[in-house]
Amino acid sequence: MAKDLLVFGTLGFDSVTTPFGKIERGFGGSGAFAAVAASHFIRPAMVGAIGKDFDPAFIDVLEKRRIDTSGLFQKNGKSFSWKAHYGFDVNTAFTDEVDPSILFDYDPVVPERFHSSRFVLLGNSSPDHQLRVLDQIRPKPLLSVCDTMNYYIEKEPAKVKHMVRTAHIGLMNDAEARQLFNTPNLRKAANEILDLDSRFAIIKKGEHGAVLFTRKGFFSVPGYPLENVRDPTGCGDSFAGAFLGYLAQQENQHEKNVRKAMVWGSVVASFNAEDFSFKRQLELTKTDLRDRYNEFKSFVRF
């Protein structure tokens, strides 16, 4: 079971200040958020690079969630770190410092025991690394999802598009989709993702929810109106992780289940924003998750 979902992405230290508090060198990273979110539904395995300074307590966090960390590779150098602050409007993060040096000269080797993973989540990272990971999965996975971010869209848009074309589902946030396809119109951007042979295009809109686009139509899940948002860091990654974690557990990955997965992604992401790092996610029970899922059901009913 543990090898059914493979999560690739960054792991490291997040130092974040919001109007509601701060955290110094807390546990974060796209792979970390995605794997923890997925672990509410499945036992994922991770691939990613960590530095010599990586906090062993972070590994404990993952292992307590029964995440397989044996694919993490400890390299010389410092772990990925990110320092940022959010203003009054917590929708936008302002990056103060980032140290991505751990990703230089990194070849993301997937241990052989994970080569047959049926589900693969390629979290925010360089498209070269994402492609390299996906290329090692044989036979091709049943479903692969790739995220991306502005840094790579600016630097190598053609490679990002190639990555989207190679994965089954292209997923990104609204600003990224607008930037990658040079249009303010999300539906046009989504059609461009679909034109890259994506089975589904998923556009995350932060506090405004997320939209799933298919050739035939769309499905929209509104944002959960949280009364207390303490730190939105990792919500997009958590959405992706919970989305694929849920979906990997289903009998099929048809649109009906994909829609439900969108809601589960939103459920976990909404909890994630309620506190720093994994504080809120780690205390969640099945009942908390189910209750909020039912709330989503009731608040779109008409």
Q: Which residue has the tokens 């848009």?
A: 157
* 18 versus 126: smaller Cβ distance to its own copies: 18
Cα–Cα distance list, 62 to 153, 181, 220 (Å): 30, 36, 31
Q: Smallest gap, in angstroms, from Cβ of residue 175 to its own copies?
A: 10
State how far the Cα of 64 lies from the Cα of 223, in Å rounded to an integer: 29
* 101 versus 257: smaller Cβ distance to its own copies: 257
All residues at 6 or more sequence positions from 133 whose CB lies less than 8 Å from its CB, including other chains: 6, 8, 47, 108, 110, 120, 122
* 68 versus 192: smaller Cβ distance to its own copies: 192
Q: Smallest gap, in angstroms, from Cβ of residue 279 to its own copies?
A: 19
| Residue 286: its H or E element | helix 286-299
Q: Smallest gap, in angstroms, from Cβ of residue 122 to its own copies?
A: 25
- Residue 224 DSSP SS3: coil
φ, ψ at 98 (rounded to 5°): -145, 140
Q: Smallest gap, in angstroms, from Cβ of residue 213 to its own copies?
A: 8
* 226 versus 284: smaller Cβ distance to its own copies: 226
Six token digits for residue 144: 């692969």
Q: Which residue has the tokens 């589900």?
A: 119
All residues at 6 or more sequence positions from 169 whose CB lies less than 8 Å from its CB, including other chains: 143, 144, 145, 146, 198, 199, 200, 201, 202
Question: Applying CB under 8 A, which residues contact its own copies?
Answer: 88-90, 178, 184-188, 190-191, 205, 207-209, 211, 213, 217-223, 225-229, 256, 259-260, 262-263, 295, 297-302
Q: Smallest gap, in angstroms, from Cβ of residue 212 to its own copies?
A: 9
| Residue 81: its H or E element | strand 80-86
* 47 versus 221: smaller Cβ distance to its own copies: 221
State how far the Cα of 23 lies from the Cα of 18, in Å rounded to an integer: 9
* 61 versus 258: smaller Cβ distance to its own copies: 258
Q: Smallest gap, in angstroms, from Cβ of residue 151 to its own copies?
A: 21
